[in-house]
Amino acid sequence: MINTVIFDLDGVLVSTDELHYEAWKRLADELGISGFTKADNERQRGVSRLESLEVVLEKSDKTYSLEEKYALGEKKNAYYRESLKNADSSIVLPGAVETLKLLRNRGIKVGVGSASKNTPEILEKTGLIGLVDKVSCGLDTDKGKPEPDVFLIAAKKLGSAPCQCLVVEDSKAGVEAAKRAGMHSLGVGPYGRTLGAEACAPDLASGIDWRELCG
């Protein structure tokens, strides 16, 4: 029986996915890489910063050393953090607060499992930190999704077995990570139906039947 729900952050609880795109686009433009598109950005959902950079560099004819790649990742992160400076509860996606409250009221354990190293700051700024029990993020492991680590760490912190966990994700890499972790999955967002999850919904505000999902 499912007694734990682990939420992805970007694109599930908050709308920072667009800010990631803008920061990568700014970096791509600076590097003279033309044609970095929203479709490229879709492949960056849920994956680590360095792997996201590789998606950008696919369109470059220049070769970068690992050191240079880390520096470029830092640069993008500085742009991203600039856009987060004034972030507040307005970036929380519809239905997120109500869902977190409802689940906790029903005695379901609630966690966050995000690849982002900026997770603690975003949860603080949006006030979501007070609505979740445990957080696992890119600061806990360097292994990005589709590796299962970030979700397994969340389950461990919550004291739940993987088979008792349901992961809510907006990315293919994230749903794959949930499967590799031996967890159940719910796909949300514009591509929710195409992610290969066990169930899907357009967003957290669309009347998801949590009683049915969590048994």
Give me the active site residues, please. 8, 10
* Subset of residues 130 to 189 that bind ligand B16, contact rule: CB under 6 A: 138, 171
- Report the residue number, 46 or 148, with the smaller CB distance to Mg ion: 46
Contact assessment for residue 101 and residue 62, using Cβ atoms and an 8 Å cutoff: no
Report the residue from 28, 92, 115, 197 that binds ligand B16 according to the rule CB under 6 A.
Answer: 115
The stretch near Mg ion (CB under 5 A) out of 1-9, 27-35, 87-95, 205-213 is: 1-9
Q: What is the DSSP letter of 167?
A: E
Q: Which residue is nearest to ligand B16 (CB)?
A: 114
39 burial (CB, 10 Å; 0-12 / 13-18 / 19+) is exposed
Kindly state the tokens that stand for 130: 């007070």
Q: What is the DSSP letter of 92?
A: B
Q: Taking CB under 5 A as the rule, which mask of x and - marks residues 38-67 in contact with Mg ion? A: --------x---------------------
At its nearest, how many Å lie between Mg ion and the CB of residue 195? 11
147 contributes a contact to Mg ion by CB under 5 A: no
Strand partners, 188: 201
Cis peptide before 146 (omega within 30 of 0): yes
Contact assessment for residue 22 and residue 15, using Cβ atoms and an 8 Å cutoff: no
Binding site for ligand B16 (CB under 6 A): 8-11, 20, 44-49, 52, 77, 114-118, 138, 171
